[in-house]
């Protein structure tokens, strides 16, 4: 999938199982939105194939669209339309829509039901967007960054709703750059960057990785040049050292107490004064860092 | 937790979708103050002002001024809705992602277009009721020719709406707003909509070929003389074909 010279999706191949929540995780510009929009039939891939519910999303679009629910990033309603009026309109395009008032209440849209779209807060616009994706009772839902910028309470409400969708028999594909969202919600996580699939698996599979864990080193003065390479050499094969910034790095690998001791010795020899040395289980964030060499949320 | 989210997907029957969409777009159009201004207020002001101030404006025709003005103001009303309102509304629909989102809804593109046409018909009906009402109050005495007038409204709507979509589908929303209003003002003043083409002297032979002149003349042929102005109707059909072909080639949904 290319836009002019830029390649947005590159040889990316993945499958989504029914009745699951799948998270596509990646930093901004990784190709998450392009991936979703290709599944939604907005873009025709230059190479490769896409099947959604067994249908070609471009050629068989009219058969596919009533069966899926879509929440786009950014707005998707007229500036002058009232929140609940918009939801009611979308419901009228479907044969068996959800009860609009109940759905609105569930997403806390009751208070702003008569407010024009342009005066809704960003969070309210996002919740309306999610409601618009769900009101037609789709069997497959594509939600692009459903909770970006939402406050924690509303984020939890949204998560519960997405979990209930799975329980009730729908399939959810969401993009996110929030680790905790992927860890909490997803049955499967696909990590992508630069349009390539870097890793796939359940959150547990991705974070467990055998006996792999992490050691985080935070120092008071910047590391000397070449520190990651020298530390890696001191620790031996099977470990990865990633510099997070000039004052912290993370060691990934079969890290245990003896590794911790070796890190400490390396610090002493290299005149590095650690402020903290901590041993921890690998998080998705660490996985992501190791895979891409960059932080998820810049 | 009473909400049952189990899947039960299906599109509503297409006619129901189109009706719902037409109603929605018409409501939004009438709710918008500026659109209401050019749809109803300006045509009424032009009609009343033209008839009451005919002497001072030096307007002098073979027929009473109100008989000449009502067909022209009806043409103006069609132009304002089918061209200016439609272009501005569609431009901002593109900008706010509405059209893009509707592209992923069960409403097919033909249904979206049909809904827009339905909204135009609803708003134009309202405009005709208001303009005809004010015209009758001012003593308008139509010459019949309703079939010709209806044909002119239909073809005029087709011509202007295809041109409105052309502008909205290519330019950014702000540029569409500016162009749609500017073209409206220019055609109102110099496009032989309200005033007959004959009022423009030699220039009148040119403006007859504009969609504004063709619509205005066709309306006057029908309602002033009771005849069908086939040449003008053909000109409108030509503009509709050209506008639709160009729109189909250039319209960008995002």
pLDDT, position B182: 96
Q: pLDDT for B141-152, tens place per residue?
A: 998 899 999 999
Q: For the segment B158-211, what is each residue's pLDDT rounded down to a tens digit? A: 999 999 999 999 999 999 999 999 999 999 999 999 999 988 888 888 999 999
Topology annotation, domain A2-205: Rossmann fold (3.40.50)
Express each pLDDT in A186-212 by its tens digit: 999 998 888 888 888 888 887 765 455
**How much is the pLDDT for A5?**
54
CA distance A282 to A287: 7
Residues with Cβ within 8 Å of residue A61, at least 6 apart in sequence? A41
What's the whole-number mean pLDDT along residues A232-247? Answer: 82
Two tokens at B15?
């006619």
Bridge partners for A214 per DSSP:
A252, A280
Asked if the Cβ–Cβ distance from B12 to A95 is below 8 Å, we say yes
Measured between alpha carbons, how far is B216 from B240 in angstroms, rounded to an integer? 16
In the numeric block, which tokens belong to residue A278? 């901590």
The architecture that CATH gives domain A209-281 is: 2-Layer Sandwich (3.30)
CB B109 within 8 A of CB B103: yes
Checking if the pLDDT of B24 tops 80, the result is: yes
How much is the average pLDDT of B222-230? 95
- d(Cα B120, Cα B78) in Å, to the nearest integer? 9
- Which residues of B sit within 8 Å Cβ distance of A? 1-13, 16-17, 20-21, 24, 28, 31-32, 92-93, 96-98, 100-101, 103-108
> In the numeric block, which tokens belong to residue B110?
């033909």
* pLDDT above 70: residue A101: yes
Partner-chain residue, chosen from B8, B96, B104, that has the shortest CB–CB distance to A65: B104
pLDDT in tens, A114-146: 999 999 999 999 999 999 999 999 999 999 999
CA distance A153 to A133: 21
What pLDDT was estimated at residue B1?
53
Task: Give alpha helix (H) positions in A26-118.
Answer: 32-39, 61-64, 83-92, 100-106
Residue B32 CB coordination number (10 Å): 18
CA A84/CA A82 separation, integer angstroms = 6
Confidence of residue A255 (pLDDT cuts 50, 70, 90): low
What is the C-alpha end-to-end distance of chain B, expressed in Å?
37
Contact across the interface for B5 and A165, Cβ inside 8 Å: yes
Q: The tokens of A275 are what?
A: 């402020």
Mean pLDDT to the nearest integer, A235-262: 80
Mean of pLDDT over chain A: 86
**Is pLDDT of A251 > 50?**
yes
Domain edges within chain A: 2-205, 209-281
Nearest by CB to residue B3, choosing from A70, A77, A102, is A102
Specify which of A30-39, A252-261, B167-176 reaches the highest per-range mean pLDDT.
Answer: B167-176
Q: Are residues A136 and A94 in contact, defined by beta-carbon separation less than 8 angstroms?
A: yes
Count contacts between A and B (CB, < 8 Å): 113
Please name the member of B1, B4, B12 whose beta carbon is closest to the beta carbon of A92: B12
Q: For testing the chain A interface, which of B1, B7, B97 should be mutated: the one with the most A CBs within 10 Å? A: B7
Q: Which range has highest mean pLDDT (A42-46, A285-289, B150-154)?
A: B150-154
More confident position, A88 or A277: A88
- A26 touching B (Cβ < 8 Å): no
Q: Which of A28-32, B56-60, B102-106 has the highest mean pLDDT?
A: B102-106
Q: SS3 for chain B, per residue?
A: CCCCCCCCCCECCHHHHHHHHHHHHHHHHHHCHHHHHHHHHHHHHHHHHHHHCHHHHCCCCCCCHHHHHHHHHHHHHHHHHHHHHHHHHHHHHHHCCHHHHHCCCCCCHHHHHHHHHHHHHHHHHHHHHHHHHHHHHCCCCCCCCHHHHHHHHHHHHHHHHHHHHHHHHHCCHHHHHHHHHHHHHHHHHHCCCCCCHHHHHHHHHHHCCCHHHHHHHHHHHHHCCCCCCHHHHHHHHHHHHHHHHHHHHHCCCC
Measure the CA–CA gap between A93 and B12, rounded to whole angstroms: 5
Nearest by CB to residue B100, choosing from A72, A78, A161, is A72
DSSP single-letter state for residue A112? G
How far B88 CA sits from the closest chain A CA (Å)?
12
Contact state of B7 with A137 under an 8 Å Cβ cutoff: yes
Spatial distance between the Cα atoms of B112 and B238, rounded to a whole number of angstroms: 24
Sign of CA dihedral A29, A30, A36, A38: positive
**A209-281 shares the fold of A2-205:** no
Distance CA A42, CA A45 (A): 10
In this predicted structure, what is the pLDDT of residue A172? Answer: 96
> What is the distance between the alpha carbons of residues A297 and A27, in angstroms, rounded to a whole number?
7
CB count, 10 Å around CB of A167? 10
Q: Are A179 and A288 in contact (CB under 8 A)?
A: yes
Tens-place pLDDT, residues A145-175: 999 888 888 899 999 999 999 999 999 999 9
Q: What's residue A210's pLDDT?
A: 47
What is the Cα Rg of chain A in Å? 22
B16–A94 C-beta distance less than 8 A: no
- pLDDT tens digits, residue range A207-223? 765 455 778 888 888 88
Look at residue A7 in the predicted model and tell me its pLDDT. 64
Nearest to B28 among A41, A81, A169 (CB): A81
SS (H, E, C) A156-215: HHHHHHHHHHHHCCCEEEEEECCHHHHHHHCCEEEEEECCEEEEEECHHHHHHCCCCEEE
Is A120 in the B-facing interface, judged by CB distances under 8 Å? no
Query: What is the ipTM, given to two decimal places?
Result: 0.89
């Amino acid at each position: 999938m290319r836009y002019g010279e830029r390649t947005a999706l590159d040889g990316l191949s993945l499958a989504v199982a029914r009745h699951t929540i799948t998270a596509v995780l990646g930093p901004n510009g990784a190709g998450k939105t392009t991936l979703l929009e290709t599944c939604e039939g907005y873009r025709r891939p230059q190479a490769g194939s896409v099947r959604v519910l067994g249908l070609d999303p471009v050629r068989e679009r009219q058969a596919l669209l009533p069966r899926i629910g879509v929440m786009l990033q950014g707005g998707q309603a007229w500036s002058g339309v009232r929140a609940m009026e918009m939801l009611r309109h979308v419901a009228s395009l479907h044969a068996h829509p959800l009860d609009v008032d109940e759905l609105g209440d569930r997403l806390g849209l009751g208070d702003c039901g008569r407010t024009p779209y342009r005066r809704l807060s960003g969070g309210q616009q996002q919740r309306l967007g999610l409601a618009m994706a769900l009101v037609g009772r789709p069997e497959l839902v594509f939600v692009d960054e459903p909770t970006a910028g939402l406050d924690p309470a509303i984020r939890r409400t949204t998560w519960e709703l997405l979990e209930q969708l799975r329980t009730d028999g729908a399939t959810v594909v969401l993009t996110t750059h929030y680790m905790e969202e992927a860890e909490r919600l997803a049955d499967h996580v696909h990590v992508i960057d630069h349009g390539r699939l870097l890793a796939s698996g359940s959150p547990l599979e991705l974070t467990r990785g055998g006996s792999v864990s992490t050691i985080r080193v935070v120092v008071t003065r910047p590391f000397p040049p070449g520190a990651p390479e020298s530390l890696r050499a001191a620790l031996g094969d099977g470990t990865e050292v990633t510099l997070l910034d000039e004052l912290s790095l993370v060691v990934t690998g079969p890290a245990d107490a003896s590794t911790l001791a070796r890190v400490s010795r390396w610090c002493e020899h290299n005149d590095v004064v650690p402020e903290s040395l901590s041993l921890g289980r690998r998080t998705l964030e660490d996985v992501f860092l190791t895979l891409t060499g960059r932080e998820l949320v810049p | 937790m009473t909400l049952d989210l189990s899947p039960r997907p299906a599109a509503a029957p297409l006619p129901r979708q189109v009706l719902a969409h037409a109603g929605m777009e018409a409501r939004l159009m009438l709710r918008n103050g500026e659109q209401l201004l050019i749809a109803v207020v300006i045509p009424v002001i032009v009609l009343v002002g033209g008839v009451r101030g005919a002497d001072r404006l030096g307007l002098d025709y073979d027929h009473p001024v109100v008989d000449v003005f009502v067909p022209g103001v009806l043409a103006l009303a069609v132009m304002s809705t089918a061209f200016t309102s439609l272009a501005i509304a569609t431009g901002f629909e593109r900008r706010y992602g509405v059209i893009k989102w509707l592209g992923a809804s069960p409403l097919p593109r033909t249904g979206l277009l049909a809904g827009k046409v339905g909204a135009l018909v609803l708003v134009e009906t309202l405009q005709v009721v208001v303009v005809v009402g004010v015209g009758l109050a001012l003593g308008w005495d139509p010459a019949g020719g309703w079939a010709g007038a209806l044909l002119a409204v239909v073809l005029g709507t087709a011509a202007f709406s295809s041109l409105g979509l052309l502008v909205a589908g290519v330019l950014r929303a702000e540029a569409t707003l500016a162009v749609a209003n500017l073209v409206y003002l220019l055609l109102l003043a110099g496009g032989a909509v309200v005033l007959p083409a004959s009022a423009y002297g030699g220039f009148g032979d040119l403006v007859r070929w504009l969609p504004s002149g063709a619509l205005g003349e066709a309306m006057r042929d029908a309602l002033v003389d009771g005849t069908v102005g086939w040449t003008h109707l053909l000109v409108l059909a030509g503009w509709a074909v050209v506008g639709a072909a160009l729109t189909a080639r250039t319209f960008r949904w995002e």
